[in-house]
Amino acid sequence: MPNQCDIIIPAYNSGAAIARVLTALYQQAIPNSWLCRVIISDDGSTDRTILIARQIKPPPAWLEPIILSGRHGGVAAARNRGISASTASVILLLGADIILRPSALSAHLSWHQLHPDPRRAALGFVVWDPAIIPTPFMEWMVHGGTQNNFDDLLGRRTADPSHFFYGSHLSCKRSLLQASGFSTIYQGYGWEDLDLGRRLKARGLKLSVLPGAIGLHHHFYTARQIFRRQLSIGQNLAIYQHQHKSAPILPRPSLKYRLVYNLCYYSGIFSLLMSIVSKTSTFIASPRIFEFLISSLLYTGLKQRKNPQKSPI
């Protein structure tokens, strides 16, 4: 009897990319011993995501896709909905803006064929899709910034699940995911996948790295969108730290840092720098300014979540 893999794609207003994502999936080569199916878990989209997804038909070798609808509750709830609907032995978690390069899917399936242990999972790589022409700011985010740190995995065969359980391109056994699931206390962007990775690591999960499985991130971010996402990451970090008190991510900011932060925040320098970067980040790389703004927004979000009634200082 063939093995089965369900590709779970949580989608929220993903109409701009979902056709490319599904087309690339359906063009993937699949080992003869596998059957594959797409499960799209829509998170209350208000655009044409579901309509477009239904128009993209799988080839004959694929099982009929499943399209699930639900209220807008965040990526964790959408993924959990897809996991509950899955009947496959292996689940590939994929972002709704991740276009798989040829052979990426077969790399995951072949790896799981060789590693049937339910506590084994595999991480694929994600790079910017050159078709969107990434800005210097976007490139810095993945090579020095706080975007998923695939640079640190180059040349490595394994990764720490508590730091690299990236839900945008990762495959694991359904039994492991159904036993735990993503925590829905995380709203906005960030930390729900690393939270699960830490919990699964405690249960013995081993995460391998698949350098031959590449996904193209087809999503252009303006500087303002990066700023908003970083603020959300800081807010969710406060939740993560509360859930995992014994594993602090950030040290307490130094007195010098807090003084500089307060000065820039209250004097308007912080807002001025964000305005400058918003206007110039498409053609000028300013790593030191990028670093200051991103770290400050993380700190702001963290403080806001801990005490939303007070100033984020």
Q: Quick one: pLDDT at residue 187?
A: 85
pLDDT exceeds 50 at position 310: no
pLDDT exceeds 70 at position 219:
yes
Tokens matching residue 51: 């309509």
pLDDT digits (tens, 9 = 90+) for 71-121: 999 999 999 999 999 999 999 999 999 999 999 999 999 999 999 999 999
Tokens 């210097």 — which residue? 136
Check residue 151 and give its pLDDT: 94
Q: What is the mean pLDDT of the chain?
A: 93
Q: Is the pLDDT of residue 313 over 70?
A: no
Helix (H) or strand (E) holding 6: strand 3-11
Taking only the tens place, the pLDDT of each residue in 156-186 is 999 999 999 999 999 999 999 998 999 999 9
Residue pLDDT, tens place only, 33-51: 999 999 999 999 999 999 9
Separation between Cα atoms, residue 144 and residue 22, nearest integer Å: 31
- Residues near 6 by beta carbon (within 8 Å), at least 6 away in sequence: 36, 37, 38, 39, 82, 86, 87, 88, 90, 91, 92, 174
Complete domains list, the chain, with CATH:
3-217 (3.90.550.10), 223-306 (no CATH)
Residue 20 CB contacts under 8 Å (≥ 6 apart), including other chains: 99, 218
pLDDT bucket at 1, cuts 50 / 70 / 90: low
Query: Of 95, 42, 46, 47, which is closest to residue 73 (Cα–Cα)?
Result: 42
Residue 18 has pLDDT above 70, yes or no: yes
**Per-residue pLDDT tens over the stretch 234-259:** 999 989 998 998 877 777 788 888 89
Strand pairing class (169-173; 120-128): antiparallel
